[in-house]
Structure 1
Amino acid sequence: MMYLYAKALHVVAVVTLISGMLAFAFALRMSIAGPDRDDTRRFGESVLRWDGLVTTPALAIVWMAGYTMAFGAGWGSSPWLLVKMVPALLLTGLHVLEGLALKRVLQEGKPVHRLFGTVPYVILSVFAIIAWLAVVKPF
């Protein structure tokens, strides 16, 4: 029974995390297109506040609920789960990089590298890989 609650919490937290990361990505794309605009700055500041209140806590819940499910179900050493950790860590690192880049733009006025324009595609692609591994459990 605990597994189902952890799974539900995990799914809600993942949706919240991915949404917040995509908002970060959108704010960064806006800063690439028009770094000195007031609406870009206001949106970026709102995304940073949202990140602190919602997205970062969701990331913590994703990891805690994920570990609860994995070890509660006895999947701790399953190959599919170990492989899944690689893209999960990539998303976690990307979340950190997005936050640092947006803070840098807003606080120091330094431009964001154009590669941040591809971040939405990276987020969705990595998320698709994670979802496939979690659902299919191929090995």
Structure 2
Amino acid sequence: MYLYVKAIHLFAVILFIAGILATAFALRIVTSMPQDTGARRFGEIVLQWDGMVTTPALAVIWVAGFTMAFGAGWSTSLWLLLKLVPAAFLTGLHGVQGIVLKRQLQAVYPTALITWAPLAILLAFAAIDWLAVTKPF
């Protein structure tokens, strides 16, 4: 059972990584070309994808992750607790990115989040991956 849940978890993680990075890049595109209808359409498509795929994938990640953690007896492991920090960061960043992209499409305001989001996403996923694979603590 554990391997099936792990496979579902990893599939959802891949979908989530793709979605959150697409949103980060859509933010940069929409901000750099605010009057371009193609850029705006791309931003709208990314928001639709976010609602239909990325957000449900995030829910699956959390459910499958907690299922594995409690099923394997890792609920009090230090590596898992540390892994929750970047995971919570990415969850929050996902929400913020969605809000900012909606506002950018309405031409409300630009934000500095756009510049650093892709790097922050990759670093957080690298930390999660390292903690999950090596289980150093």
**TM (normalized to structure 1)?**
0.96
Question: Which of 114, 118, 121 matches 2:119?
Answer: 121
Pairing 1:1-139 to 2, within 5 Å after superposition: 2-106=1-105, 108-139=106-137
Give unpaired runs (5+ residues) of structure 1: none
Distance 2:113 2:43 in 1: 18
Distance 1:44 1:31 in 2: 7
**Cα distance per residue 1:5-52 (max 9 Å; x no partner):** 110000000010010000000100012211121011100000000011
Query: CA-atom RMSD, angstroms?
Result: 0.8
Moved over 3 A (4+): none
Distance 1:114 1:133 in 2: 29
Number of residue-to-residue matches in the alignment: 137
Q: Is the 8 A contact 1:20 1:51 kept in 2?
A: yes
Residue identity in the other structure for 1:138? P
Q: Percent identity?
A: 58
Give unpaired runs (5+ residues) of structure 2: none
What secondary structure sits across from 1:69 in the alignment?
A: helix
**TM (normalized to structure 2)?**
0.97
Distance 1:102 1:65 in 2: 28
